[in-house]
Structure 1
Amino acid sequence: MIEKNLSFLGAGAIAEALIRGLLDAGAARADRIRVANRWDGQKKDSLARRYGVVAVERPEAIRRGEVLILAMKPKDAGDALVEVRDHLQGHPLILSVLAGIPTEWIERQLGGQIPVIRAMPNTSCRVGESATALAPGRYATAEQMNLAEQIFAAVGRVVVVPESQMDAVTGLSGSGPAYVYYLAEALMASGREMGLDEKVCRGLVEQTLYGAALMLRNTEESPETLRRQVTSPGGTTEAGIQVLELRHVAEALREAVRRAAERSRELQEAFAESAASEADG
């Protein structure tokens, strides 16, 4: 059990996924979770009704939080951090799930030696199966990293990487669930085209993806080895794989990850330019 007051600044999809995951795992108490949302009060109120957490205004969330989770839209981060700085008490741990915003910028906005840890979860934390990467800022201690790992381990698997690798993480696992859903869409569509009904298609695709993921997790075999075990020479699977190779599907997936990582870098650069422009103004 995490015996800290957690304050979510932002009430969007990632905030809800984390809250639900923490509560479902029994890792946190609802009465120790506060949610503030500046622009849409209905969102925080909805989370309070749904999960029993405490909906508050942002100043109270900042003052009461021992861990502040920055979960607003990145474009709203500047205004939010001004408010955080104005109401900050002590040195709470700042956990940022803001894509493309470096810890150094957050530290500079808050002033002083404020511990900041950057996290890149994905929306699978809603069902306790996120893949989350953490990167510590300059002032985050080993104890605080352990706390961050405890929070995100409650909703999936956690790895620690240098912050310079966070764009790659964004392209791979941050965006990764969308690639899997895209694949599921295509598989279900092919089943329907061949006469299977929607319910049958969904059940077969769900279990196929789930079983394949468990094979990856629970065996020591590489993906290539597992694929070869299914692909008998001259068989049906080989015929299907030949089509994927002909259409360069593997290269398309690699390019998708590279482009998503590149876009993460672009957004970070655009944010840095915008922040510098506002500071000069």
Structure 2
Amino acid sequence: MENVLFVGAGSMAEAIMAGILEKGAVNPSSVFVMNKSDEGRLGMLKEKYGVVPVKKEHPEVGLAELVVFATKPKDVRQAMSDVAAYLHPEAAVLSVMAGIPIRTFEEGLGSRPVARSMPNTSATIGLAATGVAMNNAVCDRVRGDILSLLGSVGIVKEVAEDDLHLVTALSGSGPAYVYYFTEALEEAAKTAGFDGRDARELIIQTLEGAAAMMRQTGLEPADLREHVTSPGGTTAAGLRALDEAGFHRAVASCIRAAENRSRELADGK
């Protein structure tokens, strides 16, 4: 992968840009970036990473082997229209936007390799959990390039396109659920009169430790939960309260609602 064009220059584009440059997957002078209007943003990226700001008519656009679409979903059709005439006919496309199906890029940019992915915002610190689906035009070499690029900002799992709706609900939106749970824990601690800053440090460390335990031990979450839960103890009382409040039902409703909304967005609703 020698030349990569980013169409859109927001935080997700920057996260991926930073990841591939840090791993040396591509030279900064071969990373081209364009956006709709923010010249200051392009200047900052050039100064920070050494990448090359371009406009649609610049020859570098036609050199791109991979085009990463990272605009706002509402702007994608205009973005495709802007660059369609300038792209190399064999350039592959990678979308990092929610709700835009592969067929939209096939219709807007013609027959070419297209991949649709759903990274989450933890890409900005190299800890994304990403799902990606690819059309039949993606060859083994391009598949490897795309998986390598997405893998530069975290883990990546290749899935069927229809499964991306569930991936969006689980890991795409997932950080927000964790933050929301953290807010609830903090609120409970402060209501009980505990210092908010101390509570946050304890909560963050608890989340990090629990995640590390799952990854490093390989044990089932249920087994790890049982190791913490003594019969008649404090953990058992807390878990019983969650069950009585319908915790599992609430989480299931949350995932269904997010998945359904992803499907609606894909249908243009």
Aligned residue in 1 for 2:63: 64
Aligned residue in 2 for 1:279: none
**What is the identity, as a one-letter code, of the residue corresponding to 2:139?**
T
Query: How far apart, CA to CA, are the structure 2 residues paired with 1:51 and 1:201?
Result: 37
TM-score, scaled to structure 2: 0.93
Secondary structure (helix, strand or coil) at the match of 2:268 reads helix
Secondary structure (helix, strand or coil) at the match of 2:156 reads strand
Q: CA deviation at 1:25?
A: 4.2
1:50 alignment partner, one of 45, 48, 51: 48
Kindly indicate whether residue 73 of structure 2 is the aligned counterpart of residue 83 of structure 1.
no
Aligned residue in 1 for 2:255: 257
Kindly indicate whether residue 268 of structure 2 is the aligned counterpart of residue 270 of structure 1.
yes
Secondary structure (helix, strand or coil) at the match of 1:117 reads strand
1:235 alignment partner, one of 224, 230, 233: 233
Seq. identity, %? 40
Query: How far apart, CA to CA, are the structure 1 residues paired with 2:29 and 2:213?
Result: 38
Q: CA deviation at 1:58?
A: 3.3
Deviations 1:174-193 (A, max 9, x none): 10111011111112222223
Kindly indicate whether residue 20 of structure 2 is the aligned counterpart of residue 22 of structure 1.
yes
Deviations 1:178-210 (A, max 9, x none): 101111111222222333323322211111111
Query: How far apart, CA to CA, are the structure 1 residues paired with 2:135 and 2:188?
Result: 46
**What is the identity, as a one-letter code, of the residue corresponding to 2:4?**
L
Secondary structure (helix, strand or coil) at the match of 1:72 reads coil
Query: How far apart, CA to CA, are the structure 1 residues paired with 2:157 and 2:17?
Result: 20
Q: CA deviation at 1:47?
A: 2.5
Q: CA deviation at 1:4?
A: 2.0
RMSD (Å) for aligned C-alpha atoms: 1.7
Q: CA deviation at 1:152?
A: 0.9
Unaligned runs of 5+ in 1: 272-281
Matches within 5 A, 1:47-196: 47-60=45-58, 62-111=61-110, 113-196=111-194
Worse-superposed segment, 206-215 or 191-200: 191-200
Structure 1 residues 211 and 138: CA distance shift in structure 2, 3 A:
same
Q: CA deviation at 1:103?
A: 1.1
Structure 1 residues 24 and 212: CA distance shift in structure 2, 3 A:
farther
Structure 1 residues 167 and 57: CA distance shift in structure 2, 3 A:
same
**What is the identity, as a one-letter code, of the residue corresponding to 2:70?**
A
Deviations 1:7-45 (A, max 9, x none): 110112211222233344444433332221113223222
Deviations 1:216-269 (A, max 9, x none): 111221111111111111111111111111111221111111101100111111
Query: How far apart, CA to CA, are the structure 2 residues paired with 1:204 and 1:26?
Result: 36
Deviations 1:119-165 (A, max 9, x none): 11111111111111110112111221111111111111111111111
Contact 1:38–1:58 (CA under 8 A) maintained in structure 2: no
Structure 1 residues 27 and 192: CA distance shift in structure 2, 3 A:
farther
Secondary structure (helix, strand or coil) at the match of 1:87 reads coil
Unaligned runs of 5+ in 2: none
Aligned residue in 2 for 1:204: 202
Worse-superposed segment, 20-29 or 123-132: 20-29
Aligned residue in 2 for 1:277: none
Structure 1 residues 23 and 201: CA distance shift in structure 2, 3 A:
farther
